[in-house]
Amino acid sequence: MKFRIVGAVAFSFAVAGCTHVPQTPFERLFRKGAEDCGFPITLESTRKVMDTLEIDYPTRAQFWDAISEVCKVTKAGNRSKTIEIRVRDSHGVLRIIVVERE
């Protein structure tokens, strides 16, 4: 019985340690682009944008459209904790994504 409890605790620590995934260079580039506009974006929001728009490399038009949309909304005077950006994905569908500030 004691070994099961110790095993369960060890397993939970192992799973918790393996869930952190470092950011990719593309995510780092996206965060840097948004930060240059004055909107430091969280890593979770960056991943949500990348997954929603199906961005797998930074030469896609959606990548730069998303950064320019963040800049446009920020420069319009929106200084709230979250902003809403509207960007077309790779299939041409307009997506609305809520992006959170750090």
User: Mind listing the pLDDT tens digit for each residue in 58-95?
Assistant: 778 889 999 999 999 988 887 789 999 999 988 889 99
Q: Which pLDDT value is given to residue 65?
A: 92
Q: How is residue 33 written in tokens? A: 């682009």
Q: Which pLDDT value is given to residue 71?
A: 92
User: Mind listing the pLDDT tens digit for each residue in 29-48?
Assistant: 999 999 998 899 999 999 99
CA distances from 3 to 6, 12, 13, 15 (A): 5, 14, 15, 18
Residue 54: pLDDT band (50, 70, 90) is: confident
Query: Model-level pTM?
Result: 0.74
Q: Is 87 exposed, middle or buried (0-12, 13-18, 19+ CB in 10 A)?
A: buried
